Amino acid sequence: MNVQTMMVIGAGQMGSGIAQVAAAAGFRVYLNDIKQEFVERGLATITKNLNRSVEKGTITEEEKQAVLSRLVLSTDLADAKDADFVVEAVTENMAVKTQIFTKLDEVCPPHTVLASNTSSLPITEIAAVTKRPEKVIGMHFMNPVPVMKLVEIIRGLQTSDEVYQLTEDLAKQMKKVPVSVNDFPGFVSNRVLMPMINEAIYCVYEGVATPEAIDEVMKLGMNHPMGPLTLADFIGLDTCLYIMEVLHEGFGDSKYRPCPLLRKYVKAGWLGKKSGRGFYVYN
């Protein structure tokens, strides 16, 4: 299948990043969200990223304009009727995602592939609400999308080989490195990462060390570019909690039990960088 037009649903940090790399790869891209102000904010983020690349000399002003010219702002899911490939990148909530996939299944042409950027939810379950489960796949990009190379590609139970191959090729066209992963809670990235973050939070909770000390140990001792608590603040503590709950529920294993301190911070509205306060304070 020849993909020419894509739609990205959700114009937040992940969605705008995916739209940017898709437009840079030469695709016409609808950037969709529920409000005009959200898509405009997404476009502003993309423009800022591209301006930075022009200043660094990694792209020219002409290339920047070409990328922007391929972006179309949308607040109507019905625009997906023009898309060959859709990537959903909305909040990590099964009810919201299944509602979107049900609607996409109605409006998209039969050939359209529906992908989810979910970081932990089962692709098979998302695919089950459509009449095209063989054309539903997981495409989990890493944050920040324009910088990070990895894309986890997750087959649902019924995803066809053709759709998998197409998705892998698309990832490569976007200058990403696709890695095949099976449909288990948290896939690989979050199944390994989130328990580490959760354990770091337990170290704060039990008074083993300060957040600064824990992050320093992991950076200098394990050569991580960023400590686990800084990373948790960057991801969003509400997202970390949600993924831990998906892992805990999905495997029924107490090793995935979210730390009580994580729950407390989320209840207090200390969600990390986006709220100005998490394990660290952001001005």
Look up 140 and say whether it is catalytic.
yes
Look up 206 and say whether it is catalytic.
no
Query: Residue 46, CB half-sphere, CA atoms under 13 Å: how many?
Result: 31
Look up 55 and say whether it is catalytic.
no
Catalytic hit among 32, 74, 120, 140: 140
Look up 51 and say whether it is catalytic.
no
Using CA atoms, how far apart are residues 73 and 194, in angstroms rounded to an integer? Answer: 34
Using CA atoms, how far apart are residues 117 and 21, in angstroms rounded to an integer? Answer: 14
Catalytic hit among 74, 88, 117, 152: 152
Catalytic hit among 32, 119, 120, 198: 119
Contact call for residues 132 and 105 (beta carbons, < 8 A): yes
Contact call for residues 113 and 135 (beta carbons, < 8 A): yes
Contact call for residues 15 and 8 (beta carbons, < 8 A): yes
Q: Which two tokens stand for residue 134?
A: 């063989």
Phi-psi sector, 52: left (phi>0), alpha (psi -120 to 50), beta? alpha
Catalytic annotation, residues: 119, 140, 152, 190
